[in-house]
Each structure stands twice: as C-alpha cells, then as structure tokens.
Amino acid sequence: MTSAQDNPGQAGGADKTPAEVQFDRISVAVLTASRDDMRKLGEILSAFEQIGKIAATEGRTDVPDAVTAGDAVGTALMFDDTARKHWDQAMDIFGRLASCCQEVFRGGKMNRPVLSRIFSDIREQLEIEIEGGEAEEAAAAASGGADKSMALDQDKELYTDFITESMEHLDSIEIKMVDLEAAPDDSETLNAIFRAFHTIKGVSGFLNLRDVNELAHRTETLLDMARRNELPVTGSVIDVIFEAIDGMKGMIRDVSEKVSAGATAREFIGTDRIIARITAVQEGRDDSPPPRQATPPRLGDVLVEQGKITQAEINETLSDQPESGERETLGMLLIEDKKVSPKDVAQALRIQKNAANAIETQDIRVNIHKLDGLVDMVGELVIAQSLVCNDPDVMSIDSQRFYRNLSQLGRITSELQKISMSLRMVPIKNTFQKMSRMVRDLAKKSGKEVTMLMEGEDTEVDRNMIEEIHDPLVHMIRNSVDHGVEKPDIRLAANKSALGTVTLRAFHHGGNVVIAVEDDGRGLDPVKILAKGQERGVVAAGASLSESEIFALLFEPGFSTAEKITDISGRGVGLDVVKRNVEKLRGTIETRSTLGQGSTFQMKFPLTLAIIDGIVVRVGEQRYIMPTNSIVEALRPPREDYLTVEQRAEMIRVREELLPLVRLHRLFSIHNGIQNPWEGLVVVIESEGQKRAVLIDELLGKQEVVIKTLGGGMSNVRGISGGAIMGDGRVGLILDVSGIFEITGRQASFN
Amino acid sequence: MAERQGKNVATGSAKSSKFLTFQLGDEIYGLDILKVKEIIGIMDITPVPQSPGYVKGVLNLRGKIIPVVDLRLKFGFDEREYTERTCIIVVELEMAEGKMLVGIIVDAVSEVTNISETDIEPTPEFGASFSTDYIRGMAKIKGKVVILLDISLVLSGGGLGQFAG
C-alpha cells in the first residue's frame, strides 16, 4: 500500500501541498476503513474529488482518468450491494489509484501500464464498468495479462508485436478509408476504422507511446463524431485521417527503428500540426468541398435503372414509409406493396453491395518461410512420387490392388500440390486498393481530377508474385496519371469530362494473370514517338515500324516521352525499368493506344513464379523445358520450306511466314543433335511479337515443373532461366525464350 | 572456428586442423574438412551450355540444384573417364551472395587427417607464370606431400564468377 507515508521527506505536516493532504486522507481512510464503513468511503470520494480539482487548476491532464475511476468505484460501493462484496479489493484499488496520481503530482508521468492494470482489475474483480475504461482495458488485454511490474522498456517483443499489429491495422484502415470515401455514410466501414484506431490507441497507451496514443485518440474522437452523425464525412475529414495515418506510420516506423537499435521508444516527431488540423476539421473550420454523394447507388436508383420500377412508384412508397426507415426497408416496403419481386430486390441489393462485400473468413497467420518450406516439400513429394511410379521395378509388379493404391497416391499428391500452391494465392485486391490511394494523391499533386476504377480485384495471384508486380504497377499508374490523363481544362477543351479515369483490371487468361492499366487520357502519338526514337538514336532514321513496334520503343532504355521532369514520374527512371522488371517475372507488356482517347498497358504475368508449365524437348541426349506460354506451334517442315540466304542465314517457311531458324544444338554445343530441319522438329516460339523457329530432335511431353535456380554463379547463363528436377531425378534446364531471342539477334523477321 | 580457418599458418602455434585429402592424378590435395558438406559418388550431371569446360553442369542434390566443377579440368589436367572411385565432394562456400554449395569432382577421396599447423610449410614460389594464391601451403604426411587448397579461392579466383562465361 503505497501512499504519502512512503515519502518521509514530505511527511512533515504543515508544508504539505494541497494534493498531498488529499493523498494522506485517502491512505488513512483506506487503511482504517472497516468493511461497509460509509463514512470513510465518503472521505475517500471527497478526497478524489479534491484531487481532480487540484489537477484541473494545475493543468495536470494525466490525472482525471484515475480520478474518474476512483469516483466510479466509490459510487458503486456506495450504491451497489454486489460491488460492496469486493470491499477489500476496492480499498486496494483506491490505494493504487492514489499512488498513481501521487506519482504525477511529484513531477512524474502517469504510469499507463499500471493504470490499465488497475482498470482491468476494477472490471474483473469489482465487476464495475467505467466510462473510458474500455481503452485502458484494450491496452491491458493486449498485454496478455502481463504482470504490471514487468519492465516494459526492456520488453522488445511487446513493441515488435505492437509495430506489426498497428502497421497492419493502419494498412487495413487505409483500404477501408478508400471504401469510406466511396460511401461516406456506410456506418459499417466507419465502425471498422474506428475500432482499428481504438485498438492502436489502447496498445500505444499501454506501451507509453504517447504521441501515437494522442494522435490515435484525436482521430478516434473525430471518427466518433462522424459515427454519431455529428460530423459529416467530408473530403477534408478523409484527408485529415489519411494524414493522421501517415503520421502514425511515420511514428511507428520510428519506434521500430528505435526498438531495433535497442533504445526505448519515447520521443517522436511533432504531432501538433496534424492534431491542429483534426481539431480544425472537427470544428468544421475546413473549407473543403461539401460531402460527395455516396457512390453506392441507392436501392431505388438501381431498381429504376433496371427498369423494374419507376421513380414515381418509389416516391409513393417512400411517402408511406415511417420516418426512421433504413435503406433496406425500402426493399421490404416495395415487396410488400407488390411493386417489385423479392428476386429483383435481392439482385439490386447485390449490385449495391458489390463494392463493399467484405466476406469475413477465418484466417490464421503463418510464417512465410514455413509456408514456402511446405510448398517446396510438396514439390519434392510430387517428384518423389513420380520417381516411384516410374521405377522399372515398380512397373513390373503385377497386382491390381497395388496399382489402385498407387493411383490413389498419385491423386492425393496432385491434390496436395494444388492446395499447397493455392495457399500462397491471394487476391490482388489489396494491391489495387493501395494504388487507388496513390492515384488520389498523385492526382491531387498534379492538379488533375482522376478517379480510379477497379475490375477483377478478386483475381488471385501468388503472394510472391504480388510483391514483384507492385513496383511495375506503381510505375505504370504513375505514368498514366502523370502523362496520360490531361489537366481538367485541356480535357474540357477536348470534349471530355474533366474527371479522368484510370482503370485497373485484372483477370486470368490461360495460365497467366493479366493486369491492365487503362486511362482515358491523351493517348500515344506514334508519329511523335517514332520521331523521338530516331532523334534519340533508338531506331535508325527512315526505319518503318508497325504501331506496336513503335509503342514498344517507349520501353527502350533512354526513352522518355515526358517533356518535363516532375515530382511524380520522369525522374530518369523510365519505362525500360518496368519492362525489365516485368520480363524478370517472365511477363510481357503490350501497349494499345488511340490518340486523344487513351492508352492501355497490359502486363501479362505467370500465375506463380514457382511453377512453370513446360514442354520437354530433346536435343541430342539433352532435355530442355520450353515454357508452354511462349510456344506457338511445333511442326516438321517439309524440305522445300527450309530456305537459306547467302547460304548462311537459315529460315523456315511456316505457312506464309518466314521465320529465322535457331539451331538449339549449335547454340548449346550439343554434338549429336539432328542437323536437318526436315528430319527433326521445329518449335515456333514467340516473344514480343517476334517469332523464331527452334530446331529440336523431338518432343518428349508436357510437364509442370518447379523452377529452381542453378545455384551461384550459374544463374546468368544466357538462354537458360533455371533448372527443374525431372521425373527421373535428373536436372532439366528451362529455356529462357527471350534470352534465346537476344542471343540470336533481335532483327526483324522476314515477313 | 575462426582460428581453425588456417589464418595463423605463420604464427607457428601447435594447433592442428582436420583435412580431407583426395587424389588428382599422382598428386594429393587436402581441403579444410569444415568446408566439406558431404561426399557422393558420381551421378548424372546435366551439362549447362555456354559455361566454361571445367564446369561439368548441375546435379540434383536431394532437390537442390548445385553446380559441379571437375577439378582435373580446372587445374588443366587431361580429362579422364569417371570410375567407381571418382567422387564428388560437396563443399560449402561463403560467397558475397551468401552460402552456396558446389560439387567438385576428384579422382578419389583418400582420408581425413589431422595436420598440425607446424607441419604446414609455405608454398614455394614457382614464378610469375604460376599463381599459387589458392594454395594454403604444403604438408608432409607419411613422407607424402599434400597440397592444401583454399577451396573458396580455387573456385572464385577466375572460377565461379565466370561460370556463366
């Protein structure tokens, strides 16, 4: 029981501060009070009240929480028989609360962890609910019931957990903010955001991260006002919340750095500016535009649009509706009035909710290394299984039952492989939504009005892939906003709406995922690009190129269409980097554009980086795996379709096309490969709109293989992109199609 | 560990290290046992095009693909048919990009032997035309001379870096 008595230096009597006098009163009362002693209880209550007053006059903002708690506990004891059962615990809590406050009056800081512990004790032991105790509770809960005496400053793990968790919360808030902006009066989203801030507030308070706590608290208050419809969710509210998110992220990163540097995290960048803005917004002092219309269309509008009902009918129904009707009830009313069928309403509701369909599924968090390990091992299992199945000794076993079991094993392994691959698949939605935030910021910075639309955001992509896609995607979108979409006045002059649109689209196509960035901006001018290409020496003067070849110039090193360097893009990092990144992922970029109407950049990636769908080919005694997606066809050319130029350059005529011949055996120095194309096979491969005919001996089959690197020093072999363990346990090499094009020269084909 | 890496050859301390000795033609070589991960018999090797001749290709070491170097060819010996005694010593190298495994093909593995630091003599100078950077020293065991290799230097000095040649 700590109290003023613990401090002999101040126990002198007359020279006590007013606060100390009150603390003495509390400790004396706590120590001497017998059970149900209402007079002593009154003494304690009045002492807490006095402390509250003194704190207010001295401007100690830390104290009121504890005073409120003391007051609440006292009141409960006074009026509630059940609470009085816990008299002794209550006395204990009074003492603890008092010493917390005393600490503050002696020039210290409010010890938040201890306070939160007290709050949770009040709740658990006394079963008393305190207003505002919830936040403290959350903090206490987050500590996992940690001992109050725990040395928090040393507890790195708590901080680390806090950092990951709150970063996740902030990310999820960011995503939800975009939803909120689209639907400002969606209370579900608002609540979710509120809850996330609330948690951050609680935990940061517990960890004594006061700036984060303060900012979270302010933002929470702002959101609370919005939640209670006291404040409309305007653009400026959203702006300021975004700012707060950024601020908090910065601080948390700071914490993270400090924690990893081994220091305790206490000091932060100033929050004053952001808090000032929050206050301004709260008081409605911001002159941003009025709230935008909620984007999810109203149910009635949807129905009218679908021609199921007329506006007049809806108005009629609505006028009958009682005052406090919710949105859904319109549907009910319409059904009751037999104006529309339940099916139509359900459909309309689905359309309406399309944007905000957050299906909550249960997830567990798994270390990514474990997951990768699992996927790798399953890959090995599949290979081992095929090794066993194809073993000659096994093949000679003559037993129906054995083969049945063997094929059962095969089914299970392939199912297992499918599942293990899907474990890493995540919807691209998060990436897209991050982009939407970026578009918003970019547009604001460049003084343009741009809205971003998303299509197919539920398309699933390998998690590793998503990370790799991120950068090229950011670049393409920057490019579209910065160079594609025009300024509002130019758009209006061109008879377009001032609001530009950037559409992000994702879909599966074959074994690939396609991501398209489309804008309705000024489009690409082939003539200008060609001229520039010639000027930069990227193309020879006087060369005639097809439109797609001209657009491909954009991705050549040293080519930039930007006339000025801006903050947003054109910092010397050109589209050639994008192309390189995309190709590293075995992807391709295709550009389409109509001058004056916009451009589309379509990036095609394999679904996963780990597995490749390949055709196994034989050249001499060697086997190679050709990626199926770059193969056009395979054929045995008749002798007369083999042509030479000056007896050196060799070509194969495939229908009306003349394709340069690539002799794989020559390229890879294999001695016993078939020499004459008409005796072997040619595989037509395609990359970036160009084709080659590759001479091989024969096709061995189709196989999905797990891609592995060749190990240090060997990863840069031109024409080989990696290796794979084949069914017989040997290593097969995977051909790098674009590498083969590079080796054999990228000259235009002869068509 | 650090002191066993043989940096103290010249200090004359009586510490000894274990070496794996193997044959290449008539010569006996030794390499620090700590670098050796395992020894396997000769197995199927997939040649990798456009790599230097001494790089025989890659093999599947329990699901991991590792490059294989023929030490005979690396040292400019004549190529020889692989026999029952031919071995692949898998060594772990510390490279700039991290640890990597490399297989080296030798004629035969002899034994693991303790060599005291005092028994190691510095490499004689053979003149400018013959670089001995990758030789840690010579040791005499039972009347025979063992050439102690710094296998990282053998494979990196004009070696692994140029795999892709």
CA A475 and chain centroid, separation: 17
ipTM over 0.95: no
B-chain residues within 8 Å CB-CB of A667?
49
Q: What is the pLDDT of residue B158?
A: 47
Q: Does domain A153-282 have CATH number 1.20.120.160?
A: yes
Taking an 8 Å cut-off on Cβ atoms, the answer to whether A712 and B51 are in contact is no
Taking an 8 Å cut-off on Cβ atoms, the answer to whether A712 and B160 are in contact is yes
User: From the list B49, B60, B100, which residue is nearest A712 (CB)?
Assistant: B100
Signed CA dihedral, A264, A267, A269, A273: sign only: positive
B101 — contact with chain A (CB < 8 Å)?
Answer: yes
- With tokens 């608290």, the residue in question is A217
A-chain residues within 8 Å CB-CB of B88?
none
Nearest CA in chain B to A712: B100
Taking an 8 Å cut-off on Cβ atoms, the answer to whether A669 and B160 are in contact is no
B61 — contact with chain A (CB < 8 Å)?
Answer: no
Taking an 8 Å cut-off on Cβ atoms, the answer to whether B46 and A732 are in contact is yes
> For chain A, what are the domain ranges?
4-150, 153-282, 299-348, 368-424, 427-606, 611-743
Q: Please check whether residue A549 is in contact with residue A590, taking contact to mean a CB–CB distance below 8 angstroms.
A: no
Q: What is the pLDDT of residue B147?
A: 92
Q: Please check whether residue B147 is in contact with residue B135, taking contact to mean a CB–CB distance below 8 angstroms.
A: yes
* pLDDT over 80 (residue B77): yes
Chunk chain A into consecutive blocks of 10 residues (it has 751) and report each block's average pLDDT, rounded to whole numbers. Answer: 41 64 82 78 85 82 80 79 77 82 77 78 72 52 40 60 81 79 78 82 76 82 80 79 82 76 51 75 58 51 68 69 52 67 66 50 77 80 79 86 90 86 83 85 85 87 81 86 86 87 86 86 84 77 78 75 44 67 80 87 79 87 88 90 85 88 88 88 83 91 81 74 83 87 59 32
How large is the greatest C-alpha to C-alpha distance in chain B, in angstroms? 47
* pLDDT over 80 (residue B149): yes
For domain A368-424, the CATH architecture is Orthogonal Bundle (1.10)
Amino acid identity for residue A151 in this structure: A
Q: How many domains does chain B have?
A: 1
Residue A385 Cα distances to A222, A257, A270, B21, B87, angstroms: 60, 47, 61, 38, 28
The 3-state secondary structure of B35-90, one letter per residue: HEEEEEECCCCECCCCCCCCEEEEEEECCEEEEEEEHHHHCCCCCCCCCCCCEEEE
**Topology (CATH) of A427-606:** Heat Shock Protein 90 (3.30.565)
| Closest C-alpha among A224, A114, A238, A121 to residue A173 | A238
DSSP SS3 for A331: helix
**Topology (CATH) of A611-743:** SH3 type barrels. (2.30.30)
A-chain residues within 8 Å CB-CB of B47?
622
Q: What is the CATH number of the domain that holds B75?
A: 2.40.50.180
| Closest C-alpha among A189, A186, A194 to residue A294 | A186
B-chain residues within 8 Å CB-CB of A712?
67, 93, 95, 97, 100, 102, 160, 163
Q: What is the pLDDT of residue A189?
A: 81
User: From the list A712, A717, A733, which residue is nearest B95 (CB)?
Assistant: A712
Q: What is the pLDDT of residue B97?
A: 67
Taking an 8 Å cut-off on Cβ atoms, the answer to whether B60 and A730 are in contact is yes
> Backbone phi, then psi, for A594, in 5-degree steps?
-120, 125
Q: What is the pLDDT of residue A122?
A: 79
Q: What is the pLDDT of residue A330?
A: 64
* pLDDT over 70 (residue B126): yes
Q: What is the pLDDT of residue B108?
A: 94
For residue A666, count other CB atoms closer than 10 A to its CB.
12
User: From the list A668, A709, A729, which residue is nearest B49 (CB)?
Assistant: A668
Within the 710-729 window of chain A, which residues sit less than 8 Å (CB to CB) from chain B?
710-720, 723, 725, 729
B55 — contact with chain A (CB < 8 Å)?
Answer: yes
Q: What is the pLDDT of residue A252?
A: 81
User: From the list B46, B63, B66, which residue is nearest A380 (CB)?
Assistant: B63
* pLDDT over 70 (residue B16): yes
Nearest CA in chain B to A732: B46
B102 — contact with chain A (CB < 8 Å)?
Answer: yes
User: From the list A711, A713, A730, which residue is nearest B46 (CB)?
Assistant: A730
Signed CA dihedral, A358, A362, A364, A368: sign only: negative
Amino acid identity for residue B32 in this structure: D
Q: What is the pLDDT of residue A320?
A: 62
User: From the list A376, A667, A720, which residue is nearest B48 (CB)?
Assistant: A720
Helix A210-227 to helix A187-206 angle, to the nearest 10 degrees?
Answer: 160
Taking an 8 Å cut-off on Cβ atoms, the answer to whether A731 and B60 are in contact is yes
Buried b (16+ CB within 10 A) or exposed e, A483-498: bbbbebeebeeeebee
User: From the list B58, B102, B160, which residue is nearest A723 (CB)?
Assistant: B58
Taking an 8 Å cut-off on Cβ atoms, the answer to whether A708 and B65 are in contact is yes
User: From the list A667, A713, A717, which residue is nearest B160 (CB)?
Assistant: A713
Within 13 Å, how many C-alpha atoms sit on residue A656's CB side?
Answer: 1
How many A/B residue pairs have CB atoms within 8 Å?
A: 89
Distance from CA of B71 to the nearest CA of A (A): 17
The 3-state secondary structure of A649-692, one letter per residue: EEEEEECCEEEEEEEHHHHCCCCCCCCCCCCCEEEEEEECCEEE
Q: Please check whether residue A236 is in contact with residue A288, taking contact to mean a CB–CB distance below 8 angstroms.
A: yes
Within 13 Å, how many C-alpha atoms sit on residue A89's CB side?
Answer: 18
B-chain residues within 8 Å CB-CB of A694?
none
Cα–Cα dist B47/B53, whole Å:
10
Q: Strand B55-61 vs strand B144-149: parallel, antiparallel, or unpaired? A: unpaired
Taking an 8 Å cut-off on Cβ atoms, the answer to whether B47 and A622 are in contact is yes
A-chain residues within 8 Å CB-CB of B163?
712-714, 717
Taking an 8 Å cut-off on Cβ atoms, the answer to whether B46 and A667 are in contact is no
* pLDDT over 90 (residue B70): yes
